[in-house]
Amino acid sequence: MDEKEAKAFIEQLQQEGLLTEAMRPVWQMIMPERLKRMYDVLNERTRYITIITEAVDDPHNQAAVLRSAEAFGLQDVYVVTGSAPFQPNPFVTRNADKWLTVQQKKDIQTAIQQLKESGYQVFASYLGEGTIPLQAIDVSRPTALLFGNEHRGVSDEAIRLADGTFMIPMHGFVQSFNISVAAALTLYDVTERARRQAGEAYYLPFAEKKALYEQWMWQTLQPRLRRMMEMQFQKS
């Protein structure tokens, strides 16, 4: 990006309202190429599809799910802890979690209830009777996808509270995927279909984009510089 392109891009963001005078001291510290990268990612972000993990204990699996969620453009991930704390492996997340909104809930009932109240339908990954193929999930409305513990799967309570259950069709001798693989395959299918079907409703509204973009600008600053800038903002 040359100087002329950078200037035009900054003016575009100002006209769109993503760069404001109040935040000028922050965005002036960020290279235009970085602002452009964040802008491109922001325009693909969605809350139309989200994920819930229930009692996923392995730090590698916790991290892999977050990384897949971020890679497929999800903004929110809901976490209900099990017997182990939520401590995703940083070598696996590769900082993917820093761009996500991770919401930890005290139990699966709270998580599902809040999502339903927000207009989501909830589908749980489950191999039992009555489950539907992944491709049969109706994505005409916001959808939360629930994945359970590495060994036990989703709880009976989660199945009872969910709007339905789904499975990934398989054609080999093994009957299930590792949770991280299952989440990635599920998100690939569901986000592709939802993006086509929901249209503009799939993407974030402007107010959410603006708030998220400002948050990302703060996060992209080096920690020492960020602290200095925060102190300046507090004084002003």
Whether the per-residue pLDDT at 229 is higher than 90: the answer is no
- Average pLDDT value over all residues in the chain: 93
Mean pLDDT, residues 181-210 taken together: 96
Give the tokens for residue 213. 């973009």
Residue 174 clears pLDDT 80, i.e. is over it: no
pLDDT band (50, 70, 90) for residue 133: very high
Residue 223 has pLDDT above 90, yes or no: no
Side chain identity at 215, as an amino acid letter?
Answer: Q
Task: Say whether pLDDT at 236 is over 70.
Answer: no
Cα of 174 vs its chain's centroid, Å: 29
Model confidence pLDDT, tens digit, residues 56-80:
999 999 999 999 999 999 999 999 9
Look up residue 59 and give its two tokens.
């730090």
Q: How far apart are CA 136 and CA 186, in angstroms?
A: 12
3-state secondary structure of 113: helix
Strands 121-125 and 164-167: parallel
Answering whether pTM is above 0.85, one says yes
Which pLDDT value is given to residue 136?
A: 96
Q: How confident is the model at residue 93 (pLDDT cuts 50, 70, 90)?
A: confident
Q: What angle do CA 19, 20, 21 make, to 5 degrees?
A: 135
Share of the chain above pLDDT 90, in %: 78
pLDDT reading at 230 higher than 90: no
Q: Is 195 helix (H, G, I), strand (E, B) or coil?
A: helix
What DSSP character marks residue 149? B
pLDDT at 26 over 70: yes
Tell me how far apart the alpha carbons of residues 182 and 145 are, in angstroms, rounded to a whole number. Answer: 11
Q: What average pLDDT does the segment 158-183 reach?
A: 88
